Amino acid sequence: SQKIEQNSEALNIQEGKTATLTCNYTNYSPAYLQWYRQDPGRGPVFLLLIRENEKEKRKERLKVTFDTTLKQSLFHITASQPADSATYLCALDSRDTGRRALTFGSGTRLQVQP
Amino acid sequence: DSGVTQTPKHLITATGQRVTLRCSPRSGDLSVYWYQQSLDQGLQFLIHYYNGEERAKGNILERFSAQQFPDLHSELNLSSLELGDSALYFCASSPFSGGGTGELFFGEGSRLTVL
């Protein structure tokens, strides 16, 4: 069956360190992978999109990698700040099933300690 | 502010009742998506409309239905409500016709509580 797996345990890091979040998927052939940030009780906010033929994408302190062989994406936040504390969701398209709708992982909660 | 408006923000109702959730997409966006988020399920895709036509269906129950009107706003109708329907319902919009081809802009959600 198709799965998107993100670490359900919260990630706690110190301010200034690099946070690395993992998204693994099985039985998908995504053309795109996206990362969103979600604060409690709020709607997800888009952060980055990476295509299957791209290995890496950067935006300010954010970096995403996409390895279609490993079926994995890594999301990095460098020089993390307490304001980065949130839940981060990865999402990919369901091209395989023809649905063409974003399927989301359950998210990883990041807590940055001052 | 994403530009996507959802009403109501909160709704409390009883089992067996019917409710309607409304979504106004960003100006110019033709696609509207509905997602359900509960504590144990994460964000679950329900349905996608593009310019008034249904484009894709996810895990949407038969008791739920949706439509997109000519002015592009969308409504999600939930009937014969059960306790398990309690969740946050998000609407998202996009200028594109298919998922994954661009970012989704999410509203702030409608929190439904079924007692």
Q: Do residues A28 and A54 make contact, with C-beta atoms less than 8 angstroms apart? A: no
pLDDT beyond 60 at B99: no
In the structure encoding, which two tokens stand for residue A69, read together? Answer: 């062989």
Taking the Cβ of residue A101 and every Cβ of chain B, the question of whether any pair is shorter than 8 Å is answered with yes
Task: List pLDDT tens digits, range A30-59.
Answer: 878 999 999 999 999 999 999 888 999 999
Task: List pLDDT tens digits, range B16-52.
Answer: 999 999 999 999 999 999 999 998 778 999 999 999 9
In which band, very low, low, confident or very high, does the pLDDT at B98 lie, cut at 50, 70 and 90?
A: low
pLDDT for res A97: 56
Taking the Cβ of residue B49 and every Cβ of chain A, the question of whether any pair is shorter than 8 Å is answered with no
Q: What are phi and psi of B29, to 5 degrees?
A: -80, 130
Mean pLDDT (chain A, rounded): 91
- Best of A97, A99, A106 to disrupt the B interface (most B CBs within 10 Å) is A99
pLDDT, average across residues A7-22: 94
Residue corresponding to tokens 């306790």: B83
In which band, very low, low, confident or very high, does the pLDDT at A99 lie, cut at 50, 70 and 90?
A: low
Task: List pLDDT tens digits, range B48-77.
Answer: 999 999 988 888 999 999 999 999 999 999
Å between B32 CA and nearest CA of chain A: 11
The residue in chain A having the minimum alpha-carbon distance to the alpha carbon of residue B104 is: A46
Rounded to whole angstroms, the Cα distance separating A18 from A10 reads 15
Residue corresponding to tokens 């990362």: A35
pLDDT for res B40: 72
Q: Which residues contact A83 (CB under 8 A, 6 or more apart)?
A: A112
Cα end-to-end span (Å), chain B: 31
Rounded to whole angstroms, the Cα distance separating A11 from A85 reads 10
A43/B109 Cβ within 8 A: yes
pLDDT beyond 90 at B85: yes
Count of CB contacts below 8 A, A vs B? 70
- Best of B103, B112, B113 to disrupt the A interface (most A CBs within 10 Å) is B103
The answer for B109, left when phi > 0, alpha when psi is -120 to 50, beta otherwise, is left
In which band, very low, low, confident or very high, does the pLDDT at A100 lie, cut at 50, 70 and 90?
A: low
pLDDT for res A101: 78
pLDDT for res B50: 93
Provide, as residue numbers in chain A, all residues whose Cβ is less than 8 Å from the Cβ of B33: 101-102
